[in-house]
Chain A
Amino acid sequence: KQEVTQIPAALSVPEGENLVLNCSFTDSAIYNLQWFRQDPGKGLTSLLLIQSSQREQTSGRLNASLDKSSGRSTLYIAASQPGDSATYLCAVRRLEYGNKLVFGAGTILRVKS
């Protein structure tokens, strides 16, 4: 059974700091990994999608890496801003699991101004 763990569970940083969110998964036979952002009581916004054959993806101040063999992904946020405050979720996808996304519990990020 695929399990996804995110560390830390919560993080509070001053504005401008670079930060790393971690995601690990137990079954490395995944198709892809997706990072989402969720604001309180709101929907999920897709940030980055990394296919299993890729090592990293970048979008603006965000960079996500994937090491499938070790079952790990990191989301790097450069020059954090108060507007980055949200819950960040990672999810892995594999056809055998009904094509669903298996989600981690998330990291709650607070960027202080």
Chain B
Amino acid sequence: EAQVTQNPRYLITVTGKKLTVTCSQNMNHEYMSWYRQDPGLGLRQIYYSMNVEVTDKGDVPEGYKVSRKEKRNFPLILESPSPNQTSLYFCASSLGLAVDEQFFGPGTRLTVL
């Protein structure tokens, strides 16, 4: 089944403890991105990747890192999480660029205490 998977789905952590949220897609998509969703602010892009080893900042990149060493994986790294990073995170992918449908993962609900 074609899908975008994220792990973990739920995570409660404490301030400053490094964490990684994994994202994987099995559709051979070139484009992948991360969004966060917050009440009243909607969905905002954090980082995106056009292909392997090509990443760039989205609208709200502060406090996050990403890497794209393989086409299928696009992990989101929080080196030193803070409470303002408590949010619902989504990974998305699409085959190529502008004209292609984007597919979203199931989401990761992160709480930073």
Contact = CB atoms under 8 A, between A and B. Distances in A.
Interface of A: 31-32, 34, 36, 41-46, 49, 51, 89, 91, 93-95, 98-101, 103-106
A100 B48 contact: yes
20 contacts: A32-B98, A36-B104, A41-B88, A41-B107, A43-B90, A43-B105, A44-B90, A44-B104, A45-B104, A89-B43, A91-B43, A93-B98, A94-B98, A95-B97, A99-B33, A99-B97, A101-B45, A103-B42, A104-B42, A106-B42
Contacts of A41: 88, 107, 109
A100 to B, nearest CB: 4
Contacts, number: 59
A93 B90 CA distance: 17
B1 interface: no
A94 B106 CA distance: 24
Interface of B: 31, 33, 35, 42-43, 45, 48, 50, 56-59, 88, 90, 92, 97-99, 101-107, 109
Contacts of B56: 98
Nearest to A43: B106
A31 B104 contact: no
Interface centre among B43, B45, B101, B103 (most CB of A within 10 A): B43
A46 B103 CA distance: 7
Given A43-B104, A43-B107, A106-B42, A100 B98 contact: no
Contacts of A106: 42
A51 B101 CA distance: 10
Given A98-B48, A99-B50, 6 more contacts: A43-B106, A45-B104, A49-B101, A89-B43, A94-B98, A101-B45
B102 A34 contact: yes
A45 B58 CA distance: 22
Contacts of B104: 36, 43-46
A94 B58 CA distance: 13
Given A43-B106, A43-B107, A103 B43 contact: yes
Contacts of B106: 42-43
